[in-house]
Amino acid sequence: MPTLSRKTAPMGIAAGALLLLGACAGTPPPDDAMATAKLAVERAEASEAPQEAPLELQQARDKLNQAEQAIAEEEYEKARRLAQEAAADAGLAEAQAERAVAERNRQQVDSAIDALAP
The per-residue pLDDT string of the chain (118 residues; one tens digit each, 9 = 90 and over) reads 445 455 554 545 555 554 554 555 578 999 999 999 999 999 999 999 999 999 999 999 999 999 999 999 999 999 999 999 999 999 999 999 999 999 999 998 888 888 888 7
Rounded to whole angstroms, the Cα distance separating 27 from 72 reads 14
- pLDDT (0 to 100) of residue 110: 85
CA distances (Å), origin 50, targets 10, 29, 56, 88, 107 = 57, 30, 9, 16, 21
C-alpha gyration radius of the chain: 25
